[in-house]
Structure 1
Amino acid sequence: MRKMLLTVVCTVSFGIVQAQSVSTVTEVPTVTSSKPSFYEQIPLVNEVINYAKEHLSIRYRSGGTTTRGFDCSGFTRFCFTKFGISLPHSSAAQGSVGEAVDKEAAQPGDLILFKGHSSGGNRIGHVGLITEVIGDQVKFIHSAWNGGVRYDYLNASYYQRRFMGIRRVAHLLTEK
């Protein structure tokens, strides 16, 4: 089911990009942005996500930044570094990288940020990488102290209470 859904998303996205590139005789001049659209970045975003998936079940290690064990920010940093994006090694610092995005506009490849263990605090203490968004379901991969690198969903009450925001960093993949 996931593979079929991913195929449909990629096919539709490819169609959108192709439709945008078709020109007509009566084409109206458009203003071009210096940043590529999200859909133009899908192949590279998918590469980051697929790379993250290769590390499922690697154990959690406080301060970990390698395949011997990751903490949450060490994991996101590890995944993005492979593709040329240097993220800081702290979830709070990663919360200031890229652009803030509304939850309703979340896309695969975005960072998702949470409070730490205490839902009463107001500081970022955990980060993950969004892998899928279907309707209001946001699935993310992260390194959790109780399970290592794994998937979770934002709609789980634990994560809903701790949700702090989303940051888009995928556009940095093309700014080398």
Structure 2
Amino acid sequence: MTKKMLLTALCAVSFGIVQAQTKPTVTDVNPTVTSPQESFYDQIPLVSNVIDYARKHLSIRYRSGGTTTHGFDCSGFTRFCFNKFGISLPHSSAAQGHVGEAVDKDDAQPGDLILFKGHSSGSSRIGHVGLITEVVGNRIKFIHSAWSGGVRYDYLHADYYQRRFMGVRRVVSLLAEK
């Protein structure tokens, strides 16, 4: 429980620092309307819960078309993790690439989906998806189900993923729309 509180506080502080450095503060003249930043802060416990849940599945093997703890493919894994917390995602990385809102890589946050081309870096189609777990400076760490190694962590700055990077999508806002 203490780890969850610390992680939540750390996410809130780091997100606040990034936001303070990248976006001007806007004074809200209508107190009934919340800013996008406040909406994200409200969802931090959800983000922490999804990431903690995903982490519990480290080392589960990769399985093409897999959607259960017997084996996951990449989109099956992200779908499984978000579904636990009431967010429905489609079961294909390409379809997940159109859900939620597009986010600039520099604005990526834990809980966002990170999208990649498939095996061919020359492709123009989304073929892989992961869940961002940590953003420190320009280093993005994500958890995903990879063909080699199953559910594991990787970093966007690795050459393999840099060449295949397609974008970031924020889906935690889907829960607020319900």
TM-score (norm 1): 0.85
Alpha-carbon distance between aligned partners in 2 of 1:153 and 1:63, rounded to the nearest angstrom? 24
Q: Matched residues in 2 for 1:109 and 1:45: separation?
A: 5
Question: Do the aligned residues in 1 keep the contact of 2:15 with 2:109 (CA within 8 Å)?
Answer: no
* Counterparts of 2:8 and 2:84, CA distance in 1: 24
Are residue 80 (structure 1) and residue 72 (structure 2) matched? no
* Corresponding residue for residue 57 of structure 2: 55
Q: What CA distance in whole angstroms lies between the structure 2 residues aligned with 1:33 and 1:12?
A: 19
* Per-residue deviation, 1:175: 2.7
**Structure 1 position 39, deviation (Å):** 1.5
State the match for 1:37 in structure 2.
Answer: 39
State the partner residue of 2:160. 158
Report the CA distance between 1:30 and its aligned residue. 3.0
Contact residue 139 and residue 156 of structure 2 kept, 8 A: yes
Q: CA shift at 1:40, angstroms?
A: 1.6
Q: CA–CA distance in 2 between the matches of 1:7 and 1:167?
A: 21
1:29 is matched by which residue type in structure 2? V
Structure possessing the higher radius of gyration over alpha carbons: 1
Partner of 1:70: 72
User: Kindly tell me: are residues 12 and 63 of structure 1, through their superposed partners in 2, closer, same or farther at Cα, counting changes over 3 Å?
Assistant: same
8 Å Cα contact 1:13/1:39 also seen in 2: no
Alignment of 1:137 with 2:139, yes or no, is yes
Instruction: Tell me how far apart the structure 1 counterparts of residues 98 and 15 of structure 2 sit (CA, whole Å).
Output: 31
Shift of 1:13: 6.8
Corresponding residue SS for 1:37: helix
Q: CA deviation at 1:33?
A: 3.7
- Gaps (5+ residues) in structure 2? 18-26
CA contact under 8 A between 1:45 and 1:109: conserved in structure 2? yes
Task: Specify the alignment match of 1:19 in structure 2.
Answer: none
Q: Deviations over 1:97-152 (max 9, x none)?
A: 00000000000000000000000010000000000001000000000000000000
Between the aligned residues of both structures, percent identity stands at 78
Deviation per residue, 1:9-31 (Å, 9 max, x gap): 24637999xxxxxxxxxx97336
Aligned positions, number: 164
* 2: CA distance, partners of 1:108 / 1:125: 21
